[in-house]
Structure 1
């Protein structure tokens, strides 16, 4: 695939994934679309760090927009030359990889820790807010299958409030982890693409054929 076309593809995909990452993280801040828990600071610390907004979102969006502009050659926004654009894209790709990796690690930690919720203290009649899956040791993975997956079915019976927070938290965090993984792959692809672009240029075959045609016409040969 040509360097310019690859930049178009990577840029558009990274832009879409960055926006999805921001959206998923915002959903984690509003369980069941209820903002009262955020006002009471009854949200998981992993969600409040908002890794999907600043790390998997803005840092990845930067390289997504830059690669898209460079790939489509938007006038007045891509006038610094191919080598400079590719160098800038490579730097942004490294920063985006760091952001996607950070978001992935924080989201995975939030998935393993479980949601922050109101639960029944084991052996007592009192209820308190916290991380019940760490406190009472609920198994995180389902080991009855050949492939270990988050044991969401067991988690549905522990938290009292917010309602259905286990499913809400697990589904959005798993989706965020998948998005961050795709971001890492695309950022690595764009990093390699940027390196090739600095070596071979933007692969503009139309421009090459046009220059060849002019050269042949000057030498009296039909093109």
Structure 2
């Protein structure tokens, strides 16, 4: 059975791994959200303001990206006991863990919810509005929000027949928002593990004393 110092060392090692993992996922989240701003690698849609509201919200940049990255930095500093964290006691470490966990959880949750809503609404694209009993023939909008009896995520025949511009708009939208959804879910899982790890570290420290 591990002694308390051994458990503490294991807890710090776990924090280092979790900090690195969260930091990596934050960079991937920021990258995925950035790509969503340039459909088909074309900057003209961003310049014309023809980017979906969820992509423009940028939750993958500041939520699953920056907020999680800051939390990951705090977790890593605690694990490596660097700088002002070199002499931190168990209670200070737990306070830092609570702060970093809350920050990362909030950022990941915002990114998760935004990605889910984006997948539900579908992409912003040019479509034939006359097929939806509207006067204007061609316009930009969210055509899949009006398909109440058909779910475009499961009916792939709609992917190339509804959106006319950008080309492959649905594939681009689904691919990268699904990536953001999975990344944010992984981040939430890592945050939960970090909180449990920090609690065990605090408990063992108090027992040792």
Q: How big is each residue's C-alpha offset from its partner over 1:14-56, in whole Å with a ceiling of 9 and x where there is no partner? A: 0000110010001111111111111111111011111111111
> In structure 2, what is the equivalent of residue 42 of structure 1?
50
Q: Distance in 2 between matches of 1:199 and 1:108?
A: 37
Question: Structure 1 residue aligned with 2:86, among 62, 66, 79?
Answer: 79
> In structure 1, what is the equivalent of residue 3 of structure 2?
none
Q: Distance in 2 between matches of 1:95 and 1:65?
A: 11
Q: TM-score, normalised by structure 1?
A: 0.80
Residue 185 of structure 1 aligns to a residue in which SS? helix
> In structure 2, what is the equivalent of residue 132 of structure 1?
143
Q: Alpha carbons of 1:125 and 1:90: their partners in 2 closer, same or farther (altered >3 Å)? A: closer
Residue 85 of structure 2 aligns to a residue in which SS? coil
Q: Distance in 1 between matches of 2:23 and 2:61?
A: 13
> Normalized per residue, which structure has more helix?
2
User: Which contiguous aligned blocks of 4+ residues in structure 1 show a shift greater than 3 angstroms?
Assistant: none
Q: How big is each residue's C-alpha offset from its partner over 1:97-124, in whole Å with a ceiling of 9 and x where there is no partner? A: 1211111011010011000000011156
Give the deviation of 1:141 after TM superposition: 4.1
Q: TM-score, normalised by structure 2?
A: 0.85
> Contact 1:17 / 1:183 at 8 angstroms: preserved in 2?
yes
Q: Distance in 1 between matches of 2:139 and 2:164?
A: 10
Report matched runs for 1:174-185 at 5 Å.
174-185=178-189
Residue 95 of structure 2 aligns to a residue in which SS? helix
Q: How big is each residue's C-alpha offset from its partner over 1:159-198, in whole Å with a ceiling of 9 and x where there is no partner? A: 1111111100100001110000000000011111122222
- Report the aligned-residue RMSD: 2.1
> In structure 2, what is the equivalent of residue 5 of structure 1?
13
Q: Alpha carbons of 1:153 and 1:16: their partners in 2 closer, same or farther (altered >3 Å)? A: farther
Give the deviation of 1:154 after TM superposition: 2.8
Q: What are structure 1's unaligned runs of at least 5 residues?
A: 143-150, 202-223
Q: Distance in 2 between matches of 1:80 and 1:36?
A: 52
* Number of aligned residues: 194
- 1:159 matches 2:163: yes
> In structure 1, what is the equivalent of residue 66 of structure 2?
58
Q: Distance in 2 between matches of 1:174 and 1:152?
A: 15
Give the deviation of 1:153 after TM superposition: 4.7
